[in-house]
């Protein structure tokens, strides 16, 4: 219990510190680009037009909403983190305990099958999936509190009020918008990490980095579907297209070549086929 409480406190602290980064990342993921490109240099020293990075975007938010504006959606995210840690820990505890049964009995046979199937990875996958499903409603509310910045709405103002708003407008299913691609991304990330762990650890490289690159499209699609057609300006045309299913969203992003949108908040190059108004005064 003490270990779980420590994990909750540590996780909450990291959540608070990382929240501005996630906030900006989400706004970039949904395609909100309020600032024009600027002339900069890439890693090779070549002059290119780049979209504003993390710090420029943060200054823009502070200019409009103040420093507190960088923490929009923090309350439901903290709820998700706390509940997710508790559920994850509890599921691992339950899956780690097995009752003894008489040899030859039906229960004994079932236990033998479960032991063979329940590897460390499988147990972790089940625990993560349970935590993701239970906390996804808070994840949806978090994203919508953030995306409100685009249209300057106040539709989602608090955890309880937001729960009522989602249920009233979309029913129970509204709390699980974007759940499937998020689950797929989590499961694939876990298995990829474990499969590549030995090879990557040999070269002292963090295996989670490669897993996050491969599964990022699932994160992007999940976040887009969580705010898609939810009544906020950021989830409606002309800011965003309306997708019937997450598969349609995936296909659209693939055709546009935007599957990595928001993956990096530094050295952000202009997407192919996109045009932005450029302030020429900056360069003279």
Choose from 29-43, 109-123, 125-139 the range with maximum mean pLDDT.
Answer: 125-139
**Residue 49 — pLDDT band, cuts 50, 70, 90?**
confident
Q: What percent of the chain has pLDDT over 90?
A: 53
Q: What is the pLDDT of residue 191?
A: 82
**191 neighbors 231 (Cβ within 8 angstroms):** no
Polymer length in residues for the chain: 284
**Residue 134 — pLDDT band, cuts 50, 70, 90?**
very high
Sign of CA dihedral 87, 93, 96, 97: negative
Q: What is the pLDDT of residue 123?
A: 85
Q: What is the pLDDT of residue 280?
A: 43
pLDDT at 206 over 90: no
- Neighbouring CB atoms inside 10 A of 2's CB total 6
pLDDT at 6 over 60: yes
Q: What is the pLDDT of residue 26?
A: 95
């Amino acid at each position: 219990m003490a270990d779980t409480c420590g994990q909750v406190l540590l996780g909450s602290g990291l959540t608070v510190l990382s929240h501005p980064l996630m906030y900006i990342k989400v706004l970039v993921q949904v395609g909100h680009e309020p600032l024009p490109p600027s002339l900069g240099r890439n890693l090779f020293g070549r002059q290119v037009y780049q979209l504003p990075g993390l710090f420029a975007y943060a200054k823009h938010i502070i200019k409009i909403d103040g420093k507190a504006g960088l923490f929009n959606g923090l309350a439901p995210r903290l709820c998700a983190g706390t509940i997710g840690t508790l559920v994850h820990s509890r599921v691992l505890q339950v899956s780690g305990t097995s009752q003894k049964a008489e040899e030859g009995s039906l229960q004994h046979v079932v236990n033998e099958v479960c032991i063979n199937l329940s590897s460390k990875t499988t147990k972790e996958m089940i625990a993560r999936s349970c935590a993701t499903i239970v906390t996804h409603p808070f994840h949806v509310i978090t994203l919508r509190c953030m995306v409100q910045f685009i249209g300057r709405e106040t539709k989602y103002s608090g955890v309880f009020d937001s729960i009522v708003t989602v249920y009233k407008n979309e029913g129970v299913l509204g709390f699980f918008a974007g759940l499937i691609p998020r689950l797929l991304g989590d499961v694939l990330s876990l298995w990829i990490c474990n499969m590549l762990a030995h090879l990557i650890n040999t070269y002292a490289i963090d295996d989670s980095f490669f897993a996050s690159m491969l599964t990022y499209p699932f994160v992007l699609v999940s976040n887009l579907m969580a705010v898609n057609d939810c009544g906020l300006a950021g989830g409606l045309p002309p800011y965003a297209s309306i997708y019937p299913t997450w598969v349609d969203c995936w296909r659209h992003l693939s055709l546009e070549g935007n599957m990595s949108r928001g993956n990096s908040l530094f050295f952000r190059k202009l997407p192919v086929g996109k045009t932005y108004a450029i302030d020429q005064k900056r360069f003279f």
